């Protein structure tokens, strides 16, 4: 079983840099 990959993104609402963390599991399911 693979670890979840974690991607730090920027909020598209205001763009000031508050982060949204997106994870993707080994079955390619995405969670925000």
32 in any annotated domain: no
Q: pLDDT digits over 3-28, tens only?
A: 668 888 887 777 677 888 899 888 88
Q: What pLDDT, on a 0 to 100 scale, did the predictor assign at position 2?
A: 53
Q: DSSP code of 2?
A: P
Cα-based angle 30, 31, 32 (whole degrees, multiple of 5) = 125
**Nearest-angstrom CA–CA distance, 14 and 4:** 27
5 in any annotated domain: yes
Instruction: Print the domain residue range for 21.
Output: 1-27
Q: What pLDDT, on a 0 to 100 scale, did the predictor assign at position 8?
A: 87
Taking a C-beta distance cutoff of 8 angstroms, is the pair 16, 5 a contact?
no
7 in any annotated domain: yes
The number of domains in the chain is: 1
For residue 1, pLDDT beyond 70: no
Q: What pLDDT, on a 0 to 100 scale, did the predictor assign at position 13?
A: 78
Taking a C-beta distance cutoff of 8 angstroms, is the pair 7, 16 a contact?
no
12 in any annotated domain: yes
3 in any annotated domain: yes
| Count of helices and strands (H, E) across the chain | 0, 3
pTM: 0.48
């Amino acid at each position: 079983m693979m670890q979840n990959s974690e991607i730090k993104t920027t909020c598209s609402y205001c763009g000031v840099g508050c982060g949204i963390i997106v994870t993707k599991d080994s079955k390619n399911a995405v969670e925000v």
